[in-house]
Structure 1
Amino acid sequence: MMAPGRKRRIALRTAVIVAAVALSLTMEISGFLATPEAERDEISYTTLHAAVPLVFAACAGVAWRIGPTRIPSRLMIAVVVLWIPQSIYHVIGDLGWLWPIVRGVDLGWAVVTGVLVLIYPRGWLHGGFERWIAAIALVASLVNLVTVLLFGTPGPETCDCVPNPYQVAEIPMLFSTLDIAYRVIGGLLALLIAGRLLVQWVRGSVPARTVAFLMPLALLAWATTLAAQAASYAAQSTSGEVLETISLIAIASVPVSFVAGISHTRNMRARVADLMRITREGADRGLWAESLARTLRDASVRVYWWDEERGGYFDAAGVPIGPHVDPRGSQSILPVASPLGVPIALIRHDRVLTDNMRLLDGVSSALRLSVDNGRLRSEIERTLEQVRQSRQRIVEAGVDARRRIERDLHDGAQQRLVSLGMSLRLAADRAGELGDPELLTDLEAAIDDLTKGLRELRELAHGIHPSLLSAGGLALAVPELAGRCPVPVAVDVQAEGRLPEIIESTAYFAIAELLANVAKHSGGTRAWVRAHLHDHELELVVRDNGVGGASLDGGSGMLGIDDRIDAVGGRLELESPLGAGTTVTIRIPTAAAAGE
């Protein structure tokens, strides 16, 4: 939701623009109606004349929204207010206190328009040339106002008005000379600004031309017609409808050109967002410089990266940065550093881009983000690799522990129990020979319990680490495992040769857990186990014809299987539609484990 303060600002701007437009149209319409019909301009020209302030007002609204500062929009509103047609004198001619002031500022719109061009596209005066031109125009305008107030007289050349109450002397020659000089100075200043802007555009780089691509043409057309009109005014002749029409169109194109230029600049900043796609993978230095040049449309862009070891800046090819850029040259340097002040890079770019600091700030932020993403990505990849290796070491340690326990049980407790069983058998035989049936019965019962305990111990040892797996791999261990499943299991094992021990152990216990799930949860009557080796990848498929509906978070041990498989770089896929059985597919890469 829009903030209340923002709503008030928008409402205020809208009110100011509407009021300025209303004032301008009121002056235009009232002046047209007050002018005798014989002296009125053509309807088409009057319409075009009235449309000029409307164009300025519309552009003021856009500039107010997207402009670099508030100055351009305010200047455009000032032009709307100062766009006073000559016919307004028929309305205010009887107001002696007013018409001399209006006459003194009736070309103020031209001065404001010139200043608007001078601040393009930065939004403020920058440099001695712009300040001097603005100062000359302002002084000339003030001199013209004072001249009109002190020496202006009503008449055909000025207006059919009441006497000027501010007049101190009637010197027609002085008044006419200063009046013509003011218009000539204005025309010359406009030509000077247009010429300078056009030369800068011709000599400028691609970024400079793209930022100021319309303004030179608009300003040149306006300055040319303004100079021609000043000459016609000096010669006391009419300038012609064609020339006046061209002048109006050129004037209206000035704010349009300004808005188009700042819109283009704004779009350039938006294109910096395209650089964010690069940041996802970190800063590939060659790609980064190429993408930056394309985004800024500046083929001269060079990115030099800070090398801590060598203590300098080097480009992607290892070429060091050259001498420092001449401040008065066409190139400029943008340093990029981390928030802690650690140098990252230097971006050498066209100097015209320094007028758009928001754009350069966006570029700096994108580069910092790219470097940070690259560093974080490397740290994450390194951490993930450490975690993967740690998990694999844990699995390998578990396999080794299982094997040691199985060996200790087989060579230790199991052998002792076998020896004890043999001793008890000898004792039972001796009791039979001695004719002691009670002792014989007790010994036989002990032998029977010992045999059962020995069987359970062997099954426990087999569950901890099957000896068949160590002896013959999956080809021997899986069929034996399937044979102990209460559900009939069809086995197809085609693992050629022996696989790394961790792979065989992981595959075996995954199959064991899946067959246990088949027996306990599936409700099926058949199961199938398939183990094939394809392109250094072991593929295990365990399928049943049960009720289905299994899931990785269903509490059936699937998460444990998935974790065990993931620890060795494998992946698990589960398909278990309701009523259609369950199929678990496991793929484990064997090349990496073999290499390790």
Structure 2
Amino acid sequence: MAISGYWSTPAEARPETSYATLHALVPLVFAACAGVAWAISESRWPARLMVAFVVLWIPQSIYAVIGGVGWLWPVVRGLDLGWAVVTGIIVLIYPRGVLRERFDRWVVGIAAVASAVNLLAVLLLAAPGDGVCACSAPNPYRVAALPELFAAIDVGYRIIGVGLALAIAVRLLFRWMRGSVPARTVAFLMPLALLAWATTLTAQAVSYAAEARSDQMLATISLIAIASIPVSFVAGVSHARNMRARVADLMRITREGADRGLWAESLARTLRDASVRVYWWDEERGVYADASGTPIPKGDADPRGSQSVLPVASPLGVPIALIRHDRVLTDNMRLLDGVSSALRLSVDNGRLRSEIERTLAHVRESRQRIVEAGDAARRRIERDLHDGAQQQLVSLAMRLRRTSDQARDRGMPAIADEVDAEILLLNAALKELRELAQGLHPSLLAQGGLSLALPELAGRCSVPTEVRVDVAGRLPELVEATAYFVVAEALANVDKHAGATRVWIDASSDGRELRLTVRDNGAGGARLDAGTGIVGVLDRVEAVGGTLELVSESGHGTTITVRLPLVDGVDGAPPTLG
């Protein structure tokens, strides 16, 4: 259309080629931005208005083509400034895509009425001529020849348009200058573009009213300013979308719960709004307070009328926090919804983390109490066996020995031999009972600690065992018992499965933890899930807050490394038996 209109225009009336090219590029810019706006804007209206601009821009290029069509050119002439009205509406709905305030609706209403009056004036009063268009066909809709009235309406329409454009530009620029950082970053190009267009539009209107030829430079600047308006719109909306994407940064905080001071700082950095304040709901006092616990001051929720408050509550309606932010951010409700969701997630994660930590603490305490109760029961049974059944069996053996001696003295060797045989059986039972009691809870461990108990335990292993114990003094009873049974289970596995020829046991303490290592040169291939014995050892080690590491490559022996804390990380007290 632009090309055909250019070639249809008489050579002496044609604009410069550079201007004509720029004039044709303006609708292309609007069309391209319409596609982008359709994809990224929350509202479809910006894209529709940009498409409408492209349609209404066409009449300026086709007067020379339709000048001989009498029924068409008056309609086209009456609508040829509709693109300016559409441009103003695009600016007014920036960036949310809707008319928000009374001023905006008044501007659109005035522009619509003025456009309707102008259209009627062209249809009813316009005639072909240089003042209207270089048309050859008469206006079939014309009802009266009133050129002065038509000229006044025509110029008045343009003056009203200039006034509205200047009002919008000044208002937008004033708001931008007074706005905070978020307001300026969301609308950083639009005020300049609109002000440049309104200024050049004013100069062109004055030239038109004075029937003077418009300056080509002003016209070029005007075209550039018009083309920059949809670009500014798309850039601002894209910037708002990027701000929503930065809400993902807040999610990293939610993994550890809501540290209130850090959360407020991160939110201000994400929104680029240093005025952001977060007030948390204090359920005990029934007020909102900042991270330090200071209640929200009266009137501080909206100082100077430039701020808005975003209440955040749980899905059940329980208050969580109030976020005071720059009012301009209300234009980006998806961003604020993301912030609300991030805060809810942060609080929920913190609550769940606390509950899980409390549950784990209860589980650890419960496991430790079970181990302590088991060890106490072992000691009690060992003591009962030693002081009860074992002592009675020893006394019985002594009486049987006296009976055997008396039978020999009285010349009854057969009876004496039979009693001696019973004594041997009794001694075997007594030995098994002692071993059973030793397995329940070794008396040497209670008497001398690991320094005495581990060498004695190693002496009962069928595989030669080297023991090194570097522990100063006694350790907590629960730690000593755990270490002893770790070694006992490891040596039992060596006897049964390892096929080793040598075992090394090393126990050392640095005052903070006991490090215990049992290593053999056997076949290897052991696993933590291979049997109940090693699993029981692992449970026992973890019950006292320790760790167990098993390294057992096939053909390279097995190494068990256990670390047992000597100080409880909660209250600083050493683990003890109950």
TM-score range, shorter chain: over 0.9
For residues 336-485 of structure 1, the aligned pairs below 5 Å read 336-485=312-461
Contact 2:476 2:575 in 1 (8 A): no
Letter in 2 for 1:263: S
**Counterparts of 1:239 and 1:39 in 2: how far apart (Å)?**
13
Aligned match for 1:147, one of 108, 116, 121: 121
Cα deviation 1:213-244 (Å, max 9, x = unaligned)? 11100110111111111111111122222111
Asked whether 1:130 is paired with 2:104, we answer yes
**Counterparts of 1:154 and 1:519 in 2: how far apart (Å)?**
117
Aligned match for 1:329, one of 282, 286, 305: 305
Question: Structure 1 residues 561, 326: closer, same or farther in 2, change over 3 A?
Answer: closer
Cα deviation 1:233-278 (Å, max 9, x = unaligned)? 1111222221111111101110111111111111111111111111
Which residue in 2 is equivalent to 1:14? none
**Counterparts of 2:252 and 2:305 in 1: how far apart (Å)?**
33
Q: Secondary structure at the match of 2:281?
A: strand
Q: Secondary structure at the match of 1:84?
A: helix
Q: Secondary structure at the match of 1:591?
A: coil
Asked whether 1:202 is paired with 2:173, we answer no
Which residue in 2 is equivalent to 1:173? 148
Asked whether 1:99 is paired with 2:73, we answer yes
More displaced stretch, 247-256 vs 233-242: 233-242
Letter in 2 for 1:145: L
Aligned match for 1:224, one of 183, 190, 199: 199
Aligned match for 1:310, one of 270, 281, 285: 285
Identity of aligned residues (%): 70
Which residue in 2 is equivalent to 1:507? 483
Question: Structure 1 residues 131, 345: closer, same or farther in 2, change over 3 A?
Answer: same
Asked whether 1:159 is paired with 2:139, we answer no
Letter in 2 for 1:468: L
Contact 1:207 1:352 in 2 (8 A): yes
Which residue in 2 is equivalent to 1:269? 244
Q: CA deviation at 1:323?
A: 1.8
Aligned match for 2:23, one of 12, 28, 49: 49
Letter in 1 for 2:441: H
Contact 1:272 1:295 in 2 (8 A): yes
**Counterparts of 2:545 and 2:303 in 1: how far apart (Å)?**
57
Q: Secondary structure at the match of 1:540?
A: strand
Q: Secondary structure at the match of 2:574?
A: helix
Give the RMSD, CA atoms, in angstroms: 1.7
Letter in 2 for 1:227: T
**Counterparts of 1:433 and 1:558 in 2: how far apart (Å)?**
56
Q: CA deviation at 1:579?
A: 2.5
Cα deviation 1:264-304 (Å, max 9, x = unaligned)? 11111111111111112211111111111111111111111
Aligned match for 1:243, one of 195, 200, 218: 218
**Counterparts of 1:34 and 1:555 in 2: how far apart (Å)?**
96
**Counterparts of 2:54 and 2:61 in 1: how far apart (Å)?**
16
More displaced stretch, 310-319 vs 460-469: 310-319
Contact 1:191 1:224 in 2 (8 A): yes
**Counterparts of 2:522 and 2:212 in 1: how far apart (Å)?**
104
Letter in 2 for 1:425: R
Letter in 2 for 1:120: Y
Q: Secondary structure at the match of 2:129?
A: coil
Q: Secondary structure at the match of 1:531?
A: strand
Contact 1:28 1:85 in 2 (8 A): no
Q: CA deviation at 1:595?
A: 6.4
Letter in 1 for 2:241: R
Stretches (4+) displaced over 6 A: none
Gaps (5+ residues) in structure 2? none
Letter in 1 for 2:472: E
Gaps (5+ residues) in structure 1? 1-26
Q: Secondary structure at the match of 2:305?
A: coil
Contact 2:490 2:518 in 1 (8 A): yes
Q: Secondary structure at the match of 1:340?
A: coil
Q: CA deviation at 1:85?
A: 4.7
Question: Structure 1 residues 579, 47: closer, same or farther in 2, change over 3 A?
Answer: farther
Q: CA deviation at 1:317?
A: 2.0
Asked whether 1:182 is paired with 2:157, we answer yes
**Counterparts of 1:225 and 1:503 in 2: how far apart (Å)?**
88
**Counterparts of 1:119 and 1:479 in 2: how far apart (Å)?**
87
Aligned match for 2:555, one of 576, 579, 595: 579
Asked whether 1:89 is paired with 2:69, we answer no
More displaced stretch, 256-265 vs 580-589: 580-589
Provide the TM-score with structure 2 as the length reference. 0.95
**Counterparts of 1:369 and 1:87 in 2: how far apart (Å)?**
57
Contact 2:68 2:135 in 1 (8 A): no
Which residue in 2 is equivalent to 1:544? 520
For residues 44-83 of structure 1, the aligned pairs below 5 Å read 44-83=18-57
Between the two proteins, the alignment pairs up a number of residues equal to 570
Q: CA deviation at 1:475?
A: 0.4
Which residue in 2 is equivalent to 1:33? 7
**Counterparts of 1:546 and 1:424 in 2: how far apart (Å)?**
46
